[in-house]
Amino acid sequence: MSSTCQREARRAACSAALQITTELAKLPGMQTWIAVALPLTLAAAALAGAGCRKEEPARRQTAGSGSAPTSVPVPAVAPVPADAPVAPADADAAPAADAGVTEAPWPTSVAVTMIAKEQPLTRTYSVSIDVPRFRTKPAAFATELNARFAQYTRLTAADVKGYQGSYYAHCRLHLVSRLAVIVECGEMNDRRTIAEAQEGTGGAPAGPTPDFVAVWLQPGLPPIELAQLAPGVDAAKVIATAIKGSPKDCEPTWCEYRPDTFALDAEGVVFRPTTYCSLECPQEHVPRIPLAELRPVHPWAVQLVDWIRKRAEAGQELVEGRTDP
């Protein structure tokens, strides 16, 4: 057996192994194929060398005739089958519907209690409050939520020393679930000095000023946006159309609406006044987007709208875990 033949055969086989490995490495999820193909190809190198025993006489005869030595052909790299396995993690899949949305675990439970208090704060000042207190698991969500409503409970006797009047802060629960919380509060501070009271001047605005908390129960309590619930809907047009179609005795123009101030009920999105209204329109004339017209694509909104539909079909209110004393 010729050592030259062996060297040429092994060199050719190794070259083929390198080409195969290089081509396979370009394909996703082919590490397992490389681990199998490389040892097999190297084994072929040994077999190619052994084959020189039978091919050597022919090679000598060709050489003796003055012809150029016959080179050992390099095996062609076999094309990768179209149905070759590809690792799922490397597949070119279409982006998911919630691509770009980072979602932390939702709270496992949510409960709320309305804390009501009506009492004199001083001899000349009284308070009337009705605000929510939340409990959640994990507790961090409740801590953040309760901090939003703590402003309505901070008035002290020292704050109103030398004044007379009353403080009012009442909240309304629109929606409470493990996904989201929507609460509307009205605040009014009827405060005047003793001198103003004696003169009949000073005092409060016409009525409570509305304030809203509408948040997702995710870290940081991100706000609920209308575009998440009703993408493509022109909220300004919805509001203008409702006002234009209202009866004269409703006088909806006394109320100011904005596209970003809304609540959710069993019938869909309902826009709420951003200023005090002395007269609210009947429900059929309140600006709203019907539940049937909510076609969210945002993953959180999809879950919330589905939850609302199920609660509405079951005749249940949109407040979970209410435990009033």
Determine the average pLDDT of the residues in 216-227: 97
For tokens 């009866």, what's the residue? 247
What is the rounded radius of gyration, in angstroms, for the C-alpha atoms of the chain? 38
Lowest mean pLDDT among 52-56, 173-177, 179-183, 289-293: 52-56
Determine the average pLDDT of the residues in 181-190: 95
Measured CA to CA, the distance from residue 325 to residue 322 in angstroms comes to: 10
Q: What pLDDT band is residue 253 in, cutting at 50, 70 and 90?
A: low
Could you tell me the two tokens for 189? Answer: 């501070």
Selection from 10-24, 187-201, 303-317 with the highest mean pLDDT: 303-317
Give tens-digit pLDDT for 256-266: 889 999 999 99
Residue 188: count other Cβ atoms within 10 Å of its Cβ. Answer: 19
Determine the average pLDDT of the residues in 288-299: 96
Q: Which pLDDT does position 251 carry in this prediction?
A: 59
Candidates 146, 160, 147; CA nearest to 194 is: 160
Domain spans of the chain, in order of start: 3-68, 109-313
Residue 246: pLDDT over 90: no
By percentage, how much of the chain surpasses pLDDT 70? 66
Measured CA to CA, the distance from residue 264 to residue 181 in angstroms comes to: 10
Candidates 171, 175, 166, 139; CA nearest to 152 is: 171
pTM score above 0.75: no
- Does 229 or 73 have the greater pLDDT score? 229
Residue 206: pLDDT over 60: yes
Lowest mean pLDDT among 23-37, 106-120, 224-238: 23-37
Candidates 272, 270, 273, 271; CA nearest to 291 is: 270
